Amino acid sequence: MAKIIEIESVYKTYGTRTKTDVLKNVTLSFERNSFSWLVGASGSGKTTLLNLISGLDSVSKGEIRINDKAITKMKEKEKAKFRAHHLGFVFQFHYLMPEFTALENVLIPLEIQGTKITKKIKADAIALMEKIGLGHVYTHYPKEMSGGEQQRTAIARAIFAKPDVIIADEPTGNLDSVAAASVYEIIRDLHQTYGITFIVVTHDQITPQKNERVIRLHDGEIIEDKVY
């Protein structure tokens, strides 16, 4: 299967006087339409790796390519454009824009891309939201929604623009177990439906399903990489 993300000998070091290596010589690749879990204890470097893949942070050494384009060599403006067209984000906290309704939040990535929001696009967004159980709240503002609804809106926002890769950083970290299970179910379902590459960082004990990959990090190094 074609590779979508290639990480070559990546290091990430923080600090100037006292240097801390958060990632050490990480070499990794992700196949198109794959589903991967990044797991590990706190401070193992999983969120850092995610931030480097998405271009939100810069590598100390090494190279990351997405769709054969080296994100590590892009200028800030190029990175922004690249993220707008190729990446989707789900954060630990929903991080929705409080000034926009749930539906408007879902449409933001398309608006950033410069796509004109037509009635059809809106209808498609509503259909997606209905699919993940948000049909009754799409006109609500984030403060009028529950934590689970907010996080599902964030997932809808990440997926609706149909990016190449969705990066989810502990998407259930702020939810109770029932809501968390529901979110994972939705993520897996959307992956099946849309065939988008998913990289999900989690603290939770997970039970990988068939074809799901688990990458375990410890002290900035990959200690396990297994496809189920």
What is the binding site for another protein (CB under 8 A)? Answer: 51, 54, 56-57, 76-77, 80-85, 87, 89, 91, 95, 97-100, 108-109, 111-113
Which residues partner with 85 through β-bridges?
Answer: none
Specify the residue, 8 or 57, whose C-beta has the smaller distance to another protein.
Answer: 57
Specify the residue, 9 or 58, whose C-beta has the smaller distance to another protein.
Answer: 58
- Does an H or E element contain 53, and which? helix 46-53
Chain centroid to Cα 151, Å, comes to 12
Rounded to a whole number of angstroms, the minimum distance from the CB of residue 112 to another protein is 5
Rounded to a whole number of angstroms, the minimum distance from the CB of residue 187 to another protein is 18
Q: Say how many C-beta atoms besides its own lie within 10 A of residue 62's C-beta.
A: 17
Rounded to a whole number of angstroms, the minimum distance from the CB of residue 93 to another protein is 9
Joined together, the tokens standing for residue 122 give: 């809106």
- Beta strands across the sheet bearing 165-169: 87-90, 165-169, 197-202, 35-39, 212-218, 221-227
Specify the residue, 114 or 205, whose C-beta has the smaller distance to another protein.
Answer: 114
Rounded to a whole number of angstroms, the minimum distance from the CB of residue 183 to another protein is 18
Chain centroid to Cα 27, Å, comes to 19
DSSP 144: G
Q: Say how many C-beta atoms besides its own lie within 10 A of residue 183's C-beta.
A: 21
Rounded to a whole number of angstroms, the minimum distance from the CB of residue 9 to another protein is 22
Specify the residue, 47 or 202, whose C-beta has the smaller distance to another protein.
Answer: 47
Specify the residue, 26 or 96, whose C-beta has the smaller distance to another protein.
Answer: 96
